[in-house]
Chains A and B, each alone.
Chain A
Amino acid sequence: VSGAVLVIDDDPESREALAVALEMEGYRVARAGHGREALNVIARDGIPRLVLLDLKMPVMDGHSFVAAVRRLPRMAGVPIVVIAADPLAPTAAHRLGAAGCLVKPVALSELLALVAGFSEPA
């Protein structure tokens, strides 16, 4: 799944809706339910082109995931966009050094515009 958009979200409907909406637009999408699973997906399937990251998750939350990813040199150029339910997420995303942030519920047009800014569909 190298070159896919990696969607990390513990809420199954939210995660699937993001993934399917992107797949409908022609993107390849990988999914993970939390940070630890996402690291496994990266280790197994290769480097994604873009990460869409929820913040509040069990096992390994968004903050810990970003910290872990910083130690992977091959992930250095991969943009991370925070997509979270907390209205204060933009501030947290900024502190994390994320490439962008959307607050749920996300409008499809916003999502596509943002994703397209980082990568054209494969």
Chain B
Amino acid sequence: VNLRHSRLIPVPLQRLPGILVLAGVYVALARLGLMIDAVSGFATLIWAPSGLALAVLLRFGPVLWPGVFLGALAANAITGAPLPVALAIAVGNTSEALAGAYGLRRLRGFDPELVQLRDVLMFVGFAALAATLIAATVGTTALAAGGLLEPDGFAATWRAWWIGDALGILLVTPALLVWTTPRHPERLSRGRMAEAAALGLILVLLSLAVFWFLDPLESTGFSQPISLVPVLLWAALRFPPRGGATAILVVAVAAIAGAVLGRGPYADQELYNRLELMQAFLGIVAVTMLILVAIVTERQQVAGEREAALRRAEEAVRLRDETLAVVSHDLRNPLNAVSLTANSLAKRAGDAALKRQVELIERAAARMTRLIQDLLDSAAIAVGRLAIVRALYDPRDIVLEAVETGRALAAERDVELVAACPPRGWRSRCDRERMLQVLSNLISNAIKASPEGANVSVTASVENDETVLAVRDRGPGIPPDEGAHVFERYWRGAGQQGEGAGLGLYIARGIVEAHDGRIWHTPADGGGVVFLIAVPGVYPARRSRA
């Protein structure tokens, strides 16, 4: 029978074991703390039970508050407080823990590992510094009312109570929280384990040296607690959050033991002064470490998220390229069958109507072939992997060949194609097939944009060490608001329809830019648009030896 879910036991009773354990540990820690008591017999300078109470209520829920109450009541009663005073102190201590736990748990997304800067600031400001005012005020007032306090000792006791509770929370709560929060199983590599072991060893030895063995008067400087800071930083930066919280605790135990027993850097002071110096040191170090751990962890998280996002994006691009390659490859086989068979049919079709229908299939297959090539090209351009193979060519030949491929379309649309080339004698460094592709695309666009009877001119020239190719149409021009967009992927003008996926000019720009060149357009004199390409690298033609 699962007792937790059994209705035979009322819910409050199910919590009884937890409450009793909490009360027991509370009393034990309180007795331990009172052994190093300094002020008034009740207020110690580091009150670990406050840290325990807050950690347990944060971790397991405020419903365990009776454990705090019982623990505080018993501890104070044992110490010698009359029952009413012990009750009042217990109420104050319980309120402190409850207030701190409620305040932190109300934060949206509060992480009990204290790895978010917001949580740490709230933990320090509210739970450690503000909520502890309750216990200090209630407790000191109860002592005074019970006659356990000299009137002039009120301020000192109140102050010691408040700082002791605050330090108890700052030093103990984080360590308890980080070690009781379940983490993703993290496998430490051998190197990290060795590093953690070295860190622990150095931290313990140095803490003992600083707070125990070295006499500050004889060994000047080194025994200063400040020499622990590098090791603490090591723990916070390399092993947050557990390393940081644990390191503070190790240093605190050494410091307290040393100070109480009159050793180490505070040895030449009175006990009260010793403890006060030690308190200041531990408080500052604890707050600094908590903030540092939070900042480091938040940064690691951001870096990890960024890396994961980058990996996902790279994976998506790779997958898309792969899919595209497979699809385009697999489309070419059926396309081959369609195209070849249509060619073969067209060759022997006697009937004119049948011939026109077969030609329709041929044109559709040709368009599909171009589309597959365009998709592959644009995918390559998008990831910056368009391969071009440059060599020296006479731009004149490229222009004339491109014009030749445009002849059929020009005749069909009743558009005149005019080529104007400079004399031979120079060479452009480019990928011949790719430049032909760009030029053919521009020419075909220009023919389609021009009205019947108009002419389209194609020119090549050399300007400032660049080969400049220009294609002019007599079409309606490009609306000003579309001018900047025509080279974008999948862009199609508002009035444009029919064939094409809007990849032509995107690919043209990609090819030209792969040549370190530029492509742009400008309104033409006499109407229409000129598309211009400038590609660097012009060389004089070598004289043929033949």
Residues of A within 8 A of B (CB): 11, 13-14, 16-18, 20-21, 24, 56, 85-87, 103-109, 111
Docked Cα-Cα span, A16 to B338, in Å, equals 11
Q: In the assembled complex, how far is the CB of residue A112 from the closest CB belonging to chain B, in whole angstroms?
A: 9
> Does residue B376 face the partner (Cβ distance < 8 Å to A)?
yes
Docked Cα-Cα span, A92 to B340, in Å, equals 23
Residues of B within 8 A of A (CB): 329-330, 332-341, 343-344, 347-348, 365, 369, 373, 376
When the two chains form their complex, are residues B337 and A109 in contact, meaning their CB atoms are under 8 A apart?
A: no
Docked Cα-Cα span, A20 to B339, in Å, equals 13
When the two chains form their complex, are residues A108 and B347 in contact, meaning their CB atoms are under 8 A apart?
A: yes
Docked Cα-Cα span, A103 to B328, in Å, equals 12
Q: Which of B344, B369, B373 contacts A108 (CB 8 A)?
A: B344
Residue of A nearest to B342 (CB): A108
Measured between beta carbons, the chain B residues less than 8 angstroms from A86 are: 329
11 residue pairs A–B, Cβ–Cβ below 8 Å? A13-B337, A17-B337, A17-B344, A24-B348, A56-B329, A86-B329, A87-B376, A104-B333, A107-B340, A108-B340, A108-B347
Docked Cα-Cα span, A41 to B248, in Å, equals 82
Q: Which of B336, B347, B365, B373 contacts A85 (CB 8 A)?
A: B336
Contacts known (A85-B329, A86-B329, A87-B376); A104 close to B336, Cβ less than 8 A: yes
Docked Cα-Cα span, A17 to B337, in Å, equals 5
Instruction: Give the residue among A11, A103, A104, A107 with the most B Cβ atoms within 10 A.
Output: A104
Docked Cα-Cα span, A106 to B340, in Å, equals 7
Q: In the assembled complex, how far is the CB of residue B322 from the closest CB belonging to chain A, in whole angstroms?
A: 14
Docked Cα-Cα span, A50 to B187, in Å, equals 62
When the two chains form their complex, are residues A105 and B341 in contact, meaning their CB atoms are under 8 A apart?
A: no
Measured between beta carbons, the chain A residues less than 8 angstroms from B335 are: 104-105
When the two chains form their complex, are residues A21 and B344 in contact, meaning their CB atoms are under 8 A apart?
A: yes
Residue of B nearest to A18 (CB): B340
Measured between beta carbons, the chain A residues less than 8 angstroms from B348 are: 24
Measured between beta carbons, the chain B residues less than 8 angstroms from A13 are: 333-334, 337
Measured between beta carbons, the chain A residues less than 8 angstroms from B334 are: 11, 13-14
Docked Cα-Cα span, A88 to B341, in Å, equals 24
Given A17-B344, A105-B369, 17 other A-B residues pairs in contact with their CB atoms under 8 A: A13-B333, A14-B337, A17-B340, A18-B336, A18-B340, A20-B341, A21-B340, A24-B344, A24-B347, A86-B329, A104-B333, A105-B338, A105-B365, A107-B340, A108-B339, A108-B340, A109-B343
- Contact residues of B: prevailing secondary structure: helix
Contacts known (A14-B337, A85-B329, A85-B332); A107 close to B344, Cβ less than 8 A: no
Q: Which of A56, A85, A103, A111 contacts B340 (CB 8 A)?
A: A111
When the two chains form their complex, are residues B341 and A21 in contact, meaning their CB atoms are under 8 A apart?
A: yes
Docked Cα-Cα span, A104 to B328, in Å, equals 11
Residue of B nearest to A109 (CB): B343
Residue of A nearest to B334 (CB): A13
Residue of B nearest to A19 (CB): B340
Instruction: Give the residue among B337, B339, B344, B369 with the most A Cβ atoms within 10 A.
Output: B337
Measured between beta carbons, the chain B residues less than 8 angstroms from A104 are: 332-333, 335-336
When the two chains form their complex, are residues A107 and B341 in contact, meaning their CB atoms are under 8 A apart?
A: no
Q: In the assembled complex, how far is the CB of residue A25 from the closest CB belonging to chain B, in whole angstroms?
A: 8
Q: In the assembled complex, how far is the CB of residue B481 from the closest CB belonging to chain A, in whole angstroms?
A: 37
Measured between beta carbons, the chain A residues less than 8 angstroms from B347 are: 24, 108
Measured between beta carbons, the chain B residues less than 8 angstroms from A107 are: 339-340, 343
Residue of A nearest to B343 (CB): A108
Q: In the assembled complex, how far is the CB of residue B237 from the closest CB belonging to chain A, in whole angstroms?
A: 50
Measured between beta carbons, the chain A residues less than 8 angstroms from B376 are: 87
Q: In the assembled complex, how far is the CB of residue A95 from the closest CB belonging to chain B, in whole angstroms?
A: 16
Docked Cα-Cα span, A104 to B339, in Å, equals 9
Measured between beta carbons, the chain B residues less than 8 angstroms from A103 are: 332
Measured between beta carbons, the chain A residues less than 8 angstroms from B329 are: 56, 85-86
Residue of B nearest to A25 (CB): B344
Measured between beta carbons, the chain B residues less than 8 angstroms from A109 are: 343
Task: In the A-B complex, list the 6 residue pairs whose CB atoms are closest, starting with the nearest.
Answer: A108-B343, A13-B337, A85-B332, A17-B337, A11-B333, A104-B336
Docked Cα-Cα span, A13 to B348, in Å, equals 20
Q: In the assembled complex, how far is the CB of residue B500 from the closest CB belonging to chain A, in whole angstroms?
A: 19
When the two chains form their complex, are residues B344 and A105 in contact, meaning their CB atoms are under 8 A apart?
A: no
Contacts known (A21-B344, A108-B343, A109-B343); A16 close to B332, Cβ less than 8 A: no
Docked Cα-Cα span, A31 to B348, in Å, equals 24
Measured between beta carbons, the chain B residues less than 8 angstroms from A106 are: 336, 339-340
Measured between beta carbons, the chain A residues less than 8 angstroms from B339 are: 105-108
Q: In the assembled complex, how far is the CB of residue A16 from the closest CB belonging to chain B, in whole angstroms?
A: 7
Q: In the assembled complex, how far is the CB of residue A94 from the closest CB belonging to chain B, in whole angstroms?
A: 14
Measured between beta carbons, the chain B residues less than 8 angstroms from A14 are: 333-334, 336-337
